[in-house]
Amino acid sequence: MSKKRVLSCIQPTGQIHLGNYFGAVKNWVDIQDKYECVYGVVDLHAMTMPYNPKDLKENTLQMITDLLACGIDPDKSVLFIQSMVPQHTELTWIFNCVTSYGELSRMTQFKDKSEQLASKSKKTVVSTGLFTYPVLQAADILVYNANYVPVGKDQEQHLELTRNIAVRFNNQFGEFFNEPEPLFTEIPKLMSLADPTKKMSKSLGEKHYIGVFDDEAVTRKKIRSAVTDTGETQGNEMSAGVANLITLLKACGKNNAVEDFTNAFHSGELKYKDLKDATADAVLELTTPFKQKKTELLNDRAYLDKLIREHAGKARAMAEKTLEKVKKLTGIYS
Ligand code: TRP
Protein backbone atom coordinates (compact mmCIF):
# COMPACT_ATOMS: atom_id res chain seq x y z
CA MET A 1 0.00 0.00 0.00
CA SER A 2 1.35 3.41 -0.84
CA LYS A 3 2.05 5.87 1.92
CA LYS A 4 -0.24 8.81 2.58
CA ARG A 5 1.20 12.16 1.63
CA VAL A 6 2.06 14.86 4.16
CA LEU A 7 2.69 18.49 3.26
CA SER A 8 3.84 21.22 5.57
CA CYS A 9 5.60 24.54 5.22
CA ILE A 10 7.47 27.03 7.35
CA GLN A 11 8.22 30.70 6.80
CA PRO A 12 11.88 31.70 6.49
CA THR A 13 11.98 33.57 9.79
CA GLY A 14 15.74 33.39 10.39
CA GLN A 15 17.37 31.11 12.88
CA ILE A 16 14.99 28.63 14.49
CA HIS A 17 14.53 28.44 18.24
CA LEU A 18 13.54 25.57 20.51
CA GLY A 19 9.88 26.62 20.33
CA ASN A 20 9.94 26.10 16.54
CA TYR A 21 11.92 22.90 16.90
CA PHE A 22 9.64 21.20 19.40
CA GLY A 23 6.52 22.81 17.93
CA ALA A 24 7.03 21.73 14.33
CA VAL A 25 10.42 20.62 13.07
CA LYS A 26 10.88 17.64 15.41
CA ASN A 27 7.53 16.26 14.33
CA TRP A 28 8.43 16.72 10.65
CA VAL A 29 11.58 14.69 11.26
CA ASP A 30 9.77 11.98 13.22
CA ILE A 31 7.11 11.23 10.58
CA GLN A 32 9.45 10.87 7.61
CA ASP A 33 9.22 7.07 7.52
CA LYS A 34 5.53 6.81 8.11
CA TYR A 35 4.44 9.18 5.33
CA GLU A 36 5.59 10.46 1.98
CA CYS A 37 6.65 13.90 3.18
CA VAL A 38 6.90 17.12 1.23
CA TYR A 39 8.18 20.16 3.13
CA GLY A 40 8.52 23.71 1.94
CA VAL A 41 10.12 27.00 2.91
CA VAL A 42 7.52 29.58 1.96
CA ASP A 43 9.42 32.66 0.87
CA LEU A 44 6.43 34.08 -1.01
CA HIS A 45 4.39 34.10 2.19
CA ALA A 46 7.16 36.07 3.88
CA MET A 47 6.61 38.86 1.32
CA THR A 48 3.14 39.60 2.70
CA MET A 49 4.59 41.63 5.58
CA PRO A 50 7.22 44.39 5.28
CA TYR A 51 10.62 42.77 4.69
CA ASN A 52 14.12 43.34 3.43
CA PRO A 53 15.06 41.53 0.15
CA LYS A 54 18.57 40.68 1.29
CA ASP A 55 17.27 39.14 4.52
CA LEU A 56 14.61 37.17 2.67
CA LYS A 57 17.19 35.51 0.46
CA GLU A 58 19.55 34.73 3.34
CA ASN A 59 16.78 33.51 5.62
CA THR A 60 15.42 31.19 2.92
CA LEU A 61 18.78 29.48 2.48
CA GLN A 62 19.26 29.44 6.23
CA MET A 63 15.91 27.75 6.83
CA ILE A 64 16.70 25.04 4.28
CA THR A 65 20.09 24.48 5.94
CA ASP A 66 18.61 24.46 9.44
CA LEU A 67 15.91 21.95 8.50
CA LEU A 68 18.50 19.60 7.00
CA ALA A 69 20.74 20.05 10.04
CA CYS A 70 17.85 19.19 12.39
CA GLY A 71 17.19 15.92 10.61
CA ILE A 72 15.06 16.42 7.51
CA ASP A 73 16.51 13.67 5.36
CA PRO A 74 16.74 14.57 1.66
CA ASP A 75 16.72 10.86 0.76
CA LYS A 76 13.34 10.43 2.41
CA SER A 77 11.54 13.74 2.05
CA VAL A 78 11.20 16.45 -0.56
CA LEU A 79 12.33 19.86 0.68
CA PHE A 80 11.57 22.77 -1.62
CA ILE A 81 11.68 26.55 -1.76
CA GLN A 82 8.18 27.73 -2.64
CA SER A 83 9.18 30.32 -5.27
CA MET A 84 11.12 27.64 -7.19
CA VAL A 85 7.85 25.80 -7.82
CA PRO A 86 5.79 28.28 -9.88
CA GLN A 87 2.79 25.92 -9.94
CA HIS A 88 1.95 27.17 -6.44
CA THR A 89 1.26 30.67 -7.71
CA GLU A 90 -0.42 29.38 -10.85
CA LEU A 91 -2.87 27.36 -8.78
CA THR A 92 -3.35 30.32 -6.43
CA TRP A 93 -4.88 32.33 -9.26
CA ILE A 94 -7.33 29.58 -10.08
CA PHE A 95 -8.21 29.25 -6.39
CA ASN A 96 -8.65 33.03 -6.10
CA CYS A 97 -11.53 32.56 -8.51
CA VAL A 98 -13.31 30.03 -6.28
CA THR A 99 -12.62 31.78 -2.95
CA SER A 100 -15.08 34.32 -1.66
CA TYR A 101 -14.05 37.77 -0.53
CA GLY A 102 -16.17 37.27 2.59
CA GLU A 103 -14.42 34.17 3.83
CA LEU A 104 -10.99 35.77 3.44
CA SER A 105 -12.21 38.81 5.38
CA ARG A 106 -13.06 36.52 8.28
CA MET A 107 -9.55 35.08 8.66
CA THR A 108 -8.29 36.02 12.12
CA GLN A 109 -4.66 36.08 11.03
CA PHE A 110 -5.51 38.66 8.38
CA LYS A 111 -7.40 40.77 10.89
CA ASP A 112 -4.53 40.60 13.40
CA LYS A 113 -1.78 41.34 10.91
CA SER A 114 -3.61 44.11 9.11
CA GLU A 115 -4.32 45.81 12.44
CA GLN A 116 -0.71 45.37 13.44
CA LEU A 117 0.37 47.08 10.20
CA ALA A 118 -2.15 49.87 10.49
CA SER A 119 -1.07 50.64 14.04
CA LYS A 120 2.60 50.84 13.04
CA SER A 121 2.40 53.67 10.59
CA LYS A 122 -0.12 55.32 8.34
CA LYS A 123 2.14 54.74 5.36
CA THR A 124 2.35 50.94 5.49
CA VAL A 125 -0.08 49.30 3.12
CA VAL A 126 -2.14 46.26 3.90
CA SER A 127 -1.39 44.37 0.70
CA THR A 128 -3.66 42.15 -1.33
CA GLY A 129 -0.94 39.55 -0.79
CA LEU A 130 -1.66 39.57 2.94
CA PHE A 131 -5.37 39.23 2.16
CA THR A 132 -4.93 36.27 -0.18
CA TYR A 133 -2.18 34.65 1.93
CA PRO A 134 -4.51 31.74 2.85
CA VAL A 135 -5.28 31.06 -0.82
CA LEU A 136 -1.57 30.61 -1.52
CA GLN A 137 -1.42 28.32 1.51
CA ALA A 138 -4.31 26.27 0.11
CA ALA A 139 -2.40 25.99 -3.17
CA ASP A 140 0.74 24.86 -1.28
CA ILE A 141 -1.25 21.99 0.15
CA LEU A 142 -3.52 21.05 -2.74
CA VAL A 143 -0.94 21.31 -5.50
CA TYR A 144 0.48 18.11 -3.95
CA ASN A 145 -2.98 16.74 -3.19
CA ALA A 146 -1.76 16.10 0.36
CA ASN A 147 -3.70 13.86 2.75
CA TYR A 148 -2.34 15.33 5.98
CA VAL A 149 -0.98 18.68 7.08
CA PRO A 150 0.92 18.90 10.37
CA VAL A 151 0.13 22.35 11.71
CA GLY A 152 -0.28 24.20 14.97
CA LYS A 153 -3.66 25.24 16.30
CA ASP A 154 -3.09 28.75 14.96
CA GLN A 155 -3.33 27.39 11.41
CA GLU A 156 -6.60 25.53 11.89
CA GLN A 157 -8.67 28.22 10.21
CA HIS A 158 -6.41 28.25 7.17
CA LEU A 159 -6.72 24.51 6.83
CA GLU A 160 -10.48 24.73 7.10
CA LEU A 161 -10.44 27.25 4.26
CA THR A 162 -8.22 24.90 2.24
CA ARG A 163 -10.85 22.19 2.58
CA ASN A 164 -13.61 24.58 1.59
CA ILE A 165 -11.65 25.51 -1.50
CA ALA A 166 -11.12 21.83 -2.37
CA VAL A 167 -14.81 21.06 -1.97
CA ARG A 168 -15.92 24.09 -3.94
CA PHE A 169 -13.50 23.29 -6.74
CA ASN A 170 -14.68 19.68 -6.84
CA ASN A 171 -18.35 20.72 -6.94
CA GLN A 172 -17.77 23.24 -9.67
CA PHE A 173 -15.32 21.36 -11.90
CA GLY A 174 -15.45 17.68 -10.92
CA GLU A 175 -14.01 15.53 -8.10
CA PHE A 176 -10.28 15.96 -8.01
CA PHE A 177 -8.83 17.30 -4.76
CA ASN A 178 -8.55 15.43 -1.45
CA GLU A 179 -9.86 17.16 1.63
CA PRO A 180 -6.64 17.37 3.64
CA GLU A 181 -6.79 16.64 7.35
CA PRO A 182 -4.76 18.41 10.01
CA LEU A 183 -2.20 16.32 11.87
CA PHE A 184 -2.07 17.69 15.39
CA THR A 185 0.55 16.31 17.73
CA GLU A 186 1.16 16.74 21.41
CA ILE A 187 3.64 19.59 21.62
CA PRO A 188 5.31 21.06 24.68
CA LYS A 189 4.40 24.68 25.23
CA LEU A 190 7.70 26.48 25.68
CA MET A 191 7.59 29.91 27.23
CA SER A 192 9.99 32.83 27.13
CA LEU A 193 12.94 32.42 29.51
CA ALA A 194 12.89 36.05 30.57
CA ASP A 195 9.11 36.32 30.83
CA PRO A 196 7.62 32.85 31.31
CA THR A 197 4.06 34.15 31.01
CA LYS A 198 4.62 34.69 27.26
CA LYS A 199 5.16 32.14 24.50
CA MET A 200 8.81 31.67 23.43
CA SER A 201 9.26 33.90 20.41
CA LYS A 202 12.05 35.75 18.65
CA SER A 203 10.06 38.95 18.46
CA LEU A 204 10.30 39.39 22.23
CA GLY A 205 14.10 39.73 22.01
CA GLU A 206 17.37 37.80 22.42
CA LYS A 207 17.06 36.73 26.02
CA HIS A 208 13.59 35.30 25.57
CA TYR A 209 14.41 32.35 23.34
CA ILE A 210 17.05 29.65 22.86
CA GLY A 211 18.22 29.40 19.27
CA VAL A 212 18.80 25.83 18.15
CA PHE A 213 22.12 27.01 16.69
CA ASP A 214 23.16 29.35 19.50
CA ASP A 215 26.64 28.41 20.65
CA GLU A 216 27.21 26.65 23.94
CA ALA A 217 28.17 29.72 25.97
CA VAL A 218 25.09 31.64 24.80
CA THR A 219 22.80 28.68 25.50
CA ARG A 220 24.19 28.26 29.01
CA LYS A 221 24.00 31.96 29.75
CA LYS A 222 20.38 32.25 28.59
CA ILE A 223 19.31 29.29 30.70
CA ARG A 224 21.31 30.44 33.72
CA SER A 225 19.58 33.82 33.53
CA ALA A 226 16.08 32.37 33.11
CA VAL A 227 13.52 33.84 35.48
CA THR A 228 12.60 31.26 38.13
CA ASP A 229 11.00 32.77 41.17
CA THR A 230 8.84 35.80 40.69
CA GLY A 231 7.48 35.57 44.21
CA GLU A 232 3.92 35.35 42.98
CA THR A 233 3.22 31.71 43.70
CA GLN A 234 2.08 30.31 47.00
CA GLY A 235 2.52 27.06 48.85
CA ASN A 236 3.49 24.17 46.63
CA GLU A 237 2.52 25.81 43.37
CA MET A 238 5.35 25.85 40.84
CA SER A 239 6.26 29.23 39.38
CA ALA A 240 5.85 29.65 35.62
CA GLY A 241 9.63 29.93 35.17
CA VAL A 242 10.44 26.70 37.02
CA ALA A 243 7.62 24.89 35.24
CA ASN A 244 9.02 26.11 31.92
CA LEU A 245 12.49 24.69 32.66
CA ILE A 246 10.88 21.38 33.64
CA THR A 247 8.88 21.42 30.37
CA LEU A 248 12.06 22.00 28.42
CA LEU A 249 13.89 19.21 30.23
CA LYS A 250 10.98 16.89 29.49
CA ALA A 251 10.92 17.95 25.83
CA CYS A 252 14.58 16.91 25.67
CA GLY A 253 13.52 13.43 26.80
CA LYS A 254 14.94 13.56 30.33
CA ASN A 255 11.98 11.97 32.09
CA ASN A 256 13.91 10.63 35.08
CA ALA A 257 15.48 14.00 35.80
CA VAL A 258 12.06 15.61 35.47
CA GLU A 259 10.72 13.27 38.12
CA ASP A 260 13.66 13.90 40.45
CA PHE A 261 13.44 17.68 40.16
CA THR A 262 9.68 17.64 40.58
CA ASN A 263 10.01 15.58 43.76
CA ALA A 264 12.76 17.88 45.02
CA PHE A 265 10.49 20.83 44.37
CA HIS A 266 7.65 19.36 46.38
CA SER A 267 9.87 18.51 49.31
CA GLY A 268 11.30 22.03 49.24
CA GLU A 269 14.79 20.89 48.30
CA LEU A 270 15.01 22.06 44.71
CA LYS A 271 18.11 24.07 43.86
CA TYR A 272 17.45 26.24 40.84
CA LYS A 273 21.06 26.08 39.82
CA ASP A 274 20.94 22.28 39.53
CA LEU A 275 17.76 22.43 37.46
CA LYS A 276 19.29 25.03 35.17
CA ASP A 277 22.53 23.10 34.73
CA ALA A 278 20.65 19.91 33.92
CA THR A 279 18.41 21.73 31.45
CA ALA A 280 21.36 23.39 29.72
CA ASP A 281 23.15 20.01 29.48
CA ALA A 282 20.05 18.38 27.97
CA VAL A 283 19.55 21.17 25.44
CA LEU A 284 23.20 21.01 24.38
CA GLU A 285 23.11 17.23 24.08
CA LEU A 286 20.23 17.70 21.64
CA THR A 287 21.58 20.65 19.66
CA THR A 288 25.32 19.93 19.42
CA PRO A 289 24.95 17.35 16.61
CA PHE A 290 22.65 19.77 14.74
CA LYS A 291 25.32 22.45 14.91
CA GLN A 292 27.97 20.06 13.61
CA LYS A 293 25.73 19.05 10.73
CA LYS A 294 25.04 22.69 9.91
CA THR A 295 28.75 23.49 9.78
CA GLU A 296 29.26 20.56 7.40
CA LEU A 297 26.45 21.74 5.15
CA LEU A 298 27.72 25.30 5.04
CA ASN A 299 31.18 24.05 4.14
CA ASP A 300 29.81 22.41 1.02
CA ARG A 301 27.76 25.05 -0.70
CA ALA A 302 27.90 23.22 -4.02
CA TYR A 303 26.18 20.21 -2.47
CA LEU A 304 23.59 22.41 -0.83
CA ASP A 305 22.86 24.25 -4.04
CA LYS A 306 22.57 21.04 -6.02
CA LEU A 307 20.23 19.57 -3.41
CA ILE A 308 18.00 22.65 -3.51
CA ARG A 309 17.74 22.48 -7.30
CA GLU A 310 17.12 18.74 -7.40
CA HIS A 311 14.40 18.93 -4.78
CA ALA A 312 12.69 21.88 -6.46
CA GLY A 313 12.68 19.74 -9.60
CA LYS A 314 11.00 16.86 -7.75
CA ALA A 315 8.40 19.21 -6.30
CA ARG A 316 7.74 20.77 -9.73
CA ALA A 317 7.18 17.36 -11.28
CA MET A 318 4.59 16.49 -8.61
CA ALA A 319 2.91 19.89 -8.83
CA GLU A 320 2.81 19.92 -12.63
CA LYS A 321 0.72 16.75 -12.66
CA THR A 322 -1.90 18.55 -10.62
CA LEU A 323 -1.81 21.62 -12.83
CA GLU A 324 -2.28 19.59 -16.00
CA LYS A 325 -5.42 18.04 -14.59
CA VAL A 326 -6.68 21.32 -13.12
CA LYS A 327 -6.26 23.08 -16.47
CA LYS A 328 -8.29 20.41 -18.22
CA LEU A 329 -11.06 20.64 -15.65
CA THR A 330 -11.23 24.43 -15.63
CA GLY A 331 -11.18 24.99 -19.39
CA ILE A 332 -7.72 26.51 -19.64
CA TYR A 333 -6.29 25.98 -23.12
CA SER A 334 -3.20 23.80 -22.87
N1 TRP B 1 0.95 29.83 7.33
C2 TRP B 1 1.89 28.88 7.88
C3 TRP B 1 2.53 29.49 9.13
O4 TRP B 1 2.66 30.68 9.23
C5 TRP B 1 2.98 28.54 6.90
C6 TRP B 1 2.44 27.81 5.72
C7 TRP B 1 2.37 28.27 4.44
C8 TRP B 1 1.95 26.47 5.70
N9 TRP B 1 1.89 27.32 3.62
C10 TRP B 1 1.60 26.21 4.35
C11 TRP B 1 1.78 25.50 6.70
C12 TRP B 1 1.07 24.96 4.00
C13 TRP B 1 1.24 24.26 6.32
C14 TRP B 1 0.89 24.02 4.97
O15 TRP B 1 2.95 28.74 10.00
Atom of ligand 1 nearest to the CA of 134: 1
CATH of the domain at 234: 1.10.240.10
Nearest CA to ligand 1 atom 8: 9
Instruction: For helices 240-251 and 272-298, give the axis angle rounded to 10 degrees.
Output: 50
Note whether 273 and 305 are same-domain residues.
Answer: no
Eight-class DSSP state of 13: -
Could you read off the pLDDT tens digit of each residue along the chain, which spans 334 residues?
A: 799 999 999 999 998 999 999 999 999 999 999 999 999 999 999 999 999 999 999 999 999 999 999 999 999 999 999 999 999 999 999 999 999 999 999 999 999 999 999 888 778 889 999 999 999 999 999 999 999 999 888 899 999 999 999 999 999 999 999 999 999 888 899 999 999 999 999 989 999 999 999 999 999 999 999 999 766 666 678 999 999 999 999 999 999 999 999 999 999 999 999 999 999 999 999 999 999 999 999 999 999 999 999 999 999 999 999 999 999 999 999 8
Between the CA of 126 and the centroid of ligand 1 the distance, in Å, is 19
Beta bridge partners of 211: 17
C-beta 8 within 6 A of ligand 1: yes
What pLDDT is stored for residue 231 in this prediction?
66
14 lies in the same domain as 143: yes
**How many other C-beta atoms are found inside a 10 Å radius of the C-beta of residue 280?**
22
Known catalytic residues are 113, 199, 202
Pocket test for ligand 1, best of 9, 45, 157, 181 (most atoms within 8 A of CB): 9
pLDDT value of residue 72: 98
Note down the domain range covering 127.
5-187+301-330
Question: For residue 170, how many other CB atoms are within 10 A of its CB?
Answer: 16
Does 256 fall in a domain? yes
Task: Answer whether residue 172 is part of any domain.
Answer: yes
Residue 138 CA to ligand 1 center (angstroms) comes to 9
Whether residue 118 sits in one domain with residue 23: yes
Looking at residue 229, what is its pLDDT?
A: 78
First to last CA, the chain: 33
What's the gap in Å between 115 CA and the centre of ligand 1? Answer: 20
